[in-house]
Amino acid sequence: MTEIHTALLSAFCDGQIVDPDQLADALADPRARDALVDFARLRAAVTSSHPLPASLTRLRPVPVRRPQLWAAMAGAAAMLVLIALTFALLPRTWTNRDGADGPPSPTRVMRYVPGVDWQPVAGSQ
């Protein structure tokens, strides 16, 4: 028996059209006949007569999806992030304003002495 014989018998098992003369040649060999019977045994071994489970008596409904709920949850999450960012950034802004927006310290002081650095003019105060 060759693999050509078993390939022919395998195809024959599946209802394929095979060369009758080659089939006769193959079946003339007792080992090929045994192979054919074993192929039939394999088919019988995977056949099940068990009833279908009750869950497969009907197609179940499509699971309900709730896009509104997801949108609401996404919106709430975005709001939380926004609030958290606001609280995180606000104190830093106040701190910076205290330091950066105050007047600079004087680097020198100029003093004007009346009568020396300027002369009072008549009629002025």
φ/ψ of residue 27, rounded to 5: -75, -10
Q: Give CA–CA dist 112/19, Å, rounded.
A: 127
Asked if 86 is part of the footprint of another protein (rule: CB under 8 A), the reply reads: no
Asked if 30 is part of the footprint of another protein (rule: CB under 8 A), the reply reads: no
| Beta carbon of residue 26, minimum distance to another protein (angstroms, whole number) | 13
Binding mask of the shown chain, residues 93 to 122, with x at each position contacting another protein by CB under 8 A = ------------------------------
Asked if 19 is part of the footprint of another protein (rule: CB under 8 A), the reply reads: no
Residue 26 burial (CB count, 10 A): 24
Residue of 57, 10, 62 whose CA lies nearest to 37: 10
φ/ψ of residue 118, rounded to 5: -150, 155
Asked if 35 is part of the footprint of another protein (rule: CB under 8 A), the reply reads: yes
| Beta carbon of residue 66, minimum distance to another protein (angstroms, whole number) | 17
